[in-house]
Amino acid sequence: MATARDPAAAPSLAALAASAGGRLIPLRLDVADPASIEALAQELKKHVDHIDVCINNAGVALERFEQRLADLNTQVSRRAAGGALQWR
The answer to whether 27 and 11 have CB atoms below 8 angstroms apart is no
The Cα 47–Cα 70 span in angstroms is: 38
- As for how many domains the chain has, the answer is 1
**Which structural domain range is residue 36 located in?**
2-86
Specify the pTM. Answer: 0.59
What's the half-sphere exposure (Cβ side, CA atoms, 13 Å) at 88? 13
Which pLDDT value is given to residue 74? 74
Cα angle at 20 between 28 and 57, to 5 degrees? 35
Which pLDDT value is given to residue 62? 57
pLDDT of 39 higher than 90 = yes
Which pLDDT value is given to residue 14? 83
Choose between 5 and 66: higher pLDDT.
5
pLDDT of 82 higher than 80 = no
**50-80: pLDDT as tens digits:** 888 777 776 655 565 565 667 767 777 776 6
